[in-house]
Amino acid sequence: MPTLTDPLADAAESAAALRGLAHATRDMPPTSTYPVLGELIAGTRSLRQVLDQLTRSHVDAHELARTDDGDPFLGRVYALAAADALNLAANALDEVQVRLDLASQHASRIAWQPASLDPAGLAGAAPTHAPEKATSRWVSVVFLQGEEADEVLTLIDREGPDAAVAHLARWDYGQETTDAALVNGYVYDAPPVGALDRTVTVEGYALTYNPTLGHVGLLRAHDVAPDPALAEPAPLTQAGRGRPADPEWFGAAPQAARPGQGLAL
């Protein structure tokens, strides 16, 4: 229970509550999203107030600030710098609150259907891709982060996931890719995805991508051979880089599935 008088105790309890919420929302039913959004909006408003009050505390008492070795000038500088950073954080929460309000408005218009209801029977609903046939294992082909991933994410926005699969499939060296994945242990019963990752399966490949965290991965069903038309090496995107499967293409940690090399997935 909040004390309403002890900021340290209430801050610790707030952090524990958020950790609990992060755990509880991992498998949250969609019917709970709207009320949870309402609580998050209220929490964001309170957090905004807390940051404003922390800012004011640093400003009002900055004349009392000292460094560990007693320097009053640097102490005041640090106090005002902290106040400035806190003020920027508080202002940033205004945008967060606007986005949460918008999400809440959209969520309020959703009538969630039972999981047993065939989505194809809903008006206007149709799967983008036909479901992939069941497969026992998936091998990692390539995993990109940073600028390399940004290029593929842009391709997805511009031309769709199918174009990204066709592009990334050129990192697939067939049996060499499979052998490297088996040796290094990058073989999965199902494509590994995070909570915010998006997944699309196309002709024996599984594309996973996350625009928020900036990473893209491609896996191939273990029993599906790569399309020979896509097996040629991918073109260079930056001068001086090696083939996509070479270590220097990815930096310190090679990420394409080649014999004797590790994967970042």
32-61 confidence digits (pLDDT tens):
888 888 889 899 999 999 999 999 999 999
Give the pLDDT score at 225. 53
Residue 16 lies in a domain: no
The tally of domains found in the chain comes to 2
The two tokens of residue 7 are 């900021």
**Are 144 and 220 in the same domain?**
yes
**pTM for this entry:** 0.45
Domain span holding position 89? 31-107
- How far apart CA 123 and CA 194 sit, in angstroms, is 30
Please name the residue that has the structure tokens 């509880």: 24
What is residue 75's predicted lDDT score, i.e. its pLDDT? Answer: 93
Per the domain annotation, does 132 fall within a domain?
no
Residue 20's pLDDT is 85
Do 160 and 76 fall into the same domain?
no
One domain for residues 143 and 213: yes
Is 120 a domain residue? no
Residues 142 and 204 in one domain: yes
Give the DSSP letter string of 211-230. Answer: TTTTEEEEEEETT-PPPGGG
Residue ending a domain, among 67, 86, 107, is 107
Q: What is the model's pLDDT at position 54?
A: 94
Per-residue pLDDT 10s for the chain (265 aa) are: 788 899 999 898 888 888 888 888 887 888 888 888 888 989 999 999 999 999 999 999 999 999 999 999 999 999 999 999 999 999 998 888 888 888 888 888 888 887 665 444 444 444 444 444 444 688 899 989 888 889 999 999 888 889 999 999 998 888 888 888 888 878 888 888 776 788 888 888 999 998 887 889 999 987 755 555 544 444 433 332 333 333 333 333 334 444 333 334 3
CA 104 to CA 90: how far, in whole Å? 21
Question: Is residue 114 included in any domain, yes or no?
Answer: no
What is d(CA 260, CA 130) in angstroms, rounded to the nearest whole number? Answer: 35
Question: What's residue 85's pLDDT?
Answer: 93
- Tell me: do 158 and 228 sit in the same domain: yes
State the pLDDT at residue 121. Answer: 47
Query: Among 107, 124, 152, where does a domain finish?
Result: 107
Q: What is the pLDDT of residue 50?
A: 93
Q: Are residues 71 and 142 in the same domain?
A: no
Indicate whether 261 belongs to any domain: no
Q: Which of these three, 64, 92, 107, is where a domain ends?
A: 107
State how far the alpha carbon of 164 is from the alpha carbons of 61, 90, 147, 202, 223, in Å: 55, 38, 15, 10, 21
Is residue 56 within 8 Å of 14, Cβ to Cβ?
A: no
Per the structure block, which two tokens stand in for 128? 């983008």
Q: Is the dihedral of CA 28, 188, 154, 151 positive or negative?
A: positive
Give residue 136's pLDDT: 62
Residue 12: inside a domain, yes or no? no
**pLDDT at residue 259 in the model:** 39
Tell me whether residue 175 is in a domain: yes
H or E element that contains 16: helix 7-24
| 3-state SS, residue 199 | strand
The answer on 99 and 56 residing in a single domain is yes
Residues 174 and 227 in one domain: yes
Give the closest residue to 49 by CA, choosing from 104, 21, 12, 86: 86
In a domain, 206, yes or no: yes
Crossing angle (nearest 10°) for helices 161-168 and 146-159: 140
Q: Do strands 187-188 and 198-202 pair parallel, antiparallel, or not at all (unpaired)? A: unpaired
Residue 116 pLDDT = 61
Local structure of 206: helix, strand or coil:
strand
- Is the domain of 143 the same as that of 231? yes
Q: Residue 175 has what pLDDT?
A: 87
Residue 136 DSSP one-character state: S
